[in-house]
Amino acid sequence: MLITLEGIDGSGKSTLHAALHEALADLDPVFTREPGATWIGDAVRRAVAERMDPIAEALLFVADHAAHIDTVIRPALGEGRIVISDRYSDSRFAYQPVVLAGLLPDPLGWLRQMHDGWSIRPGRTFLFVLPVEEALRRIAAKKQEYFEEATILEAVQKNYLDLAAADPSRFVLVDALLEKEEIFGFVADEIRRCARSSR
C-alpha cells in the first residue's frame, strides 16, 4: 500500500515522516520522498534554486517521479511492503500550476496527462493543512525554495484543498496546528487501519 504525505512547505510532513519510523517500526515500511530518492532529485533542486524555466522544472519533477517509481516504489509494493512517501504526485498538481499559470492553457490538465498510464495512485494521502503565515513562521530560519512565499503558498494550499475535495476517499485532512504527538498518533493509527483493511 502506498501512503503519501502532502502539504505546503513547513506544514510538518518531514517531522511526521521521521516520527513514523519509530511508531510503525513493526510494520517495516519503506520511507521515501520526492524529490530526493533518485539522483534526478539533485537536478530538480538545482533547477528550483536557479529558478529555471517552469516547464523544464516541471519536467524534471516528473522525471524524478518516474525514476522514483521504477527504483523504489514499484519494487517495494511488489514485495508487499507499505511505502510512505514525503511528497508525491499531488505536489506537482498543487505547486506547478501556480508557476505554470499563463505559460500553458491548462497546466493541471497537462500535468495530469503526463502522469496518466504509468504513475501509481496512492491508497491514502494525508494532507497537512496549516495557515500560511504559521507555515512561514515555522520555516523562517531555513527558507530554501522560492515557493516559500505567502502568495505562492496560498495558491498551492488552495490547489491541495481542491484536489482533496475532488477525491475524498483518498485524502485525509490533518489539522497541522495540533500538537506533534497528537498528529503522530492519529496518522499512525490511520495507517495501521489501512494496512489491516488492505490485507
Ligand X SMILES: Cc1cn([C@H]2C[C@H](O)[C@@H](COP(=O)(O)O)O2)c(=O)[nH]c1=O
Q: Which residues bind ligand ATP (CB under 6 A)?
A: 7, 9-15, 138-139, 176, 178-180, 183
Nearer to ligand ATP among residue 26 and residue 65 (C-beta): 65
| Number of residues that make up the chain | 199
Query: Using CA atoms in the order 171, 174, 175, 177, what is the torsion angle rounded to 10 degrees?
Result: -140
Residue 35 binds to ligand X (criterion: CB under 6 A)? yes
Instruction: Determine which residue in the list 95, 126, 160, 184 makes contact with ligand X, applying CB under 6 A.
Output: 95
Please say whether the beta carbons of 60 and 91 come within 8 A: no
**Closest CB 127 distance from ligand X, rounded Å:** 14
Q: Which conformational region is residue 37 in: left (phi greater than 0), alpha (psi within -120 to 50 degrees), or beta?
A: alpha
Nearer to ligand X among residue 27 and residue 66 (C-beta): 66
**Closest CB 122 distance from ligand X, rounded Å:** 13
Residue 87 binds to ligand X (criterion: CB under 6 A)? yes
What sign for the dihedral angle of Cα 24, 29, 88, 36?
positive
Please say whether the beta carbons of 93 and 164 come within 8 A: no
Rounded to an integer, what distance in angstroms lies between the CA atom of residue 64 and that of residue 70?
10
- Binders of ligand X among residues 134 to 153 (CB under 6 A) are 145, 147
Residue 34 binds to ligand X (criterion: CB under 6 A)? yes
Q: Report the interface residues with ligand X, using CB under 6 A.
A: 9, 34-35, 48, 61, 87, 91-92, 95-96, 145, 147
